Every structure is written in C-alpha cells, then in structure tokens.
Amino acid sequence: MADKVSMTIGSIAQSALLESSTRVQSAAQQVRRASAPVEDITAVAATEQVELSDAAVSLLQAQRQYETSLKLAKTADEIAQSSIDLLA
C-alpha cells in the first residue's frame, strides 16, 4: 500500500515538474516575441511591456511550481525510504 502511495506521489511530482518546464519554455517564447524588432516601436511599446510582464509572472509561477514539485518528489522519496525501513 505505501509503495502505491509513494508511486502516486512520485508520478504527481514528475508530472508537475514536466508542466513547470513547459511553462518556462512558453514564457521564454513570450519574452523572445516581445523583444523581437518591430517597425513601429511606439505602436507596440505598451503591448510589449504587458507581454513582458505576463512572461515574468509566468516565469515566477513556474519557478514556484517547480520548487513545490521538487519538495513533493523529496517527500515521495522519504515515504518510500520509510516504507523500506519498516519492512527491513
């Protein structure tokens, strides 16, 4: 039973790590698009600022999600180790 719980927690952590990685890549693409040269800089300056702000928020959210997922993975590992210790 504990092994199944640990695997489930580990799977959740792995999935969340993958999702946060995808979010970082998406935010990086937003930054790249917002910083691309344009012909009329005054027409898009406000839009770029908003896009860069959105990208910064996305990066911070992805960072927090990644940190939380790592903590969850560590907890799953500790649960598995405790289960092994109990069986030994």
Gap between the Cα atoms of 61 and 83, Å rounded: 33
What type of residue is 58? S
What's the mean per-residue pLDDT of the chain? 79
Gap between the Cα atoms of 52 and 31, Å rounded: 6
Q: pLDDT digits over 4-32, tens only?
A: 555 588 888 889 889 988 988 888 887 77
pLDDT level of residue 46 (50, 70, 90 thresholds): low
Gap between the Cα atoms of 55 and 23, Å rounded: 10
CA distance from start to end of the chain: 16
Q: What is the pLDDT of residue 13?
A: 86
